[in-house]
Amino acid sequence: MSTTTYISVFIGGCIGAVARYAVSLGIEPSSMFPVETLFVNWIGCFLLTFFITHPFLSKRVTKPVIVGIGTGVLGGFTTFSTFSVETIQLWMNQSIAVAMLYVFLSVFGSIGLAWLGLKAGLRRVNQV
């Protein structure tokens, strides 16, 4: 990997992490359900597949920039580790049904939004 790619991922990761923090400040925290993490992971899944299939990015943008957006920005924005910790915390606090709902919504919602992002990106490909 080139130095440019490393720098791109570094800068993108900073942007993504700050964006995730901003989202967490903008959403009212709930002790019952981790809405902030669910939201950022859903948005990240949609955006990643959209950007990968969108004609402008896939054809005209350099590889370091694409990696910076995908791995950097969206990798810094989304968070599997927080999802895992929150699931365990819900389970340990005897909120087993909520933990199971969180896992279900996270997995199937993320896959569904990734599919929608793919379809939206491919739709743009067909229009260009």
Binding residues for Na(+): 75, 78
**Best CA proximity match to 23, nearest among 52, 43, 1:** 43
If phi over 0 gives left and psi between -120 and 50 gives alpha, with beta otherwise, what is residue 34? beta
Q: Which 3-state string (H, E, C) describes 9-51?
A: HHHHHHHHHHHHHHHHHHCCCCCCCCHHHHHHHHHHHHHHHHH
Instruction: Enumerate the known binding-site residues.
Output: 75, 78
- Amino acid letter, residue 61: V
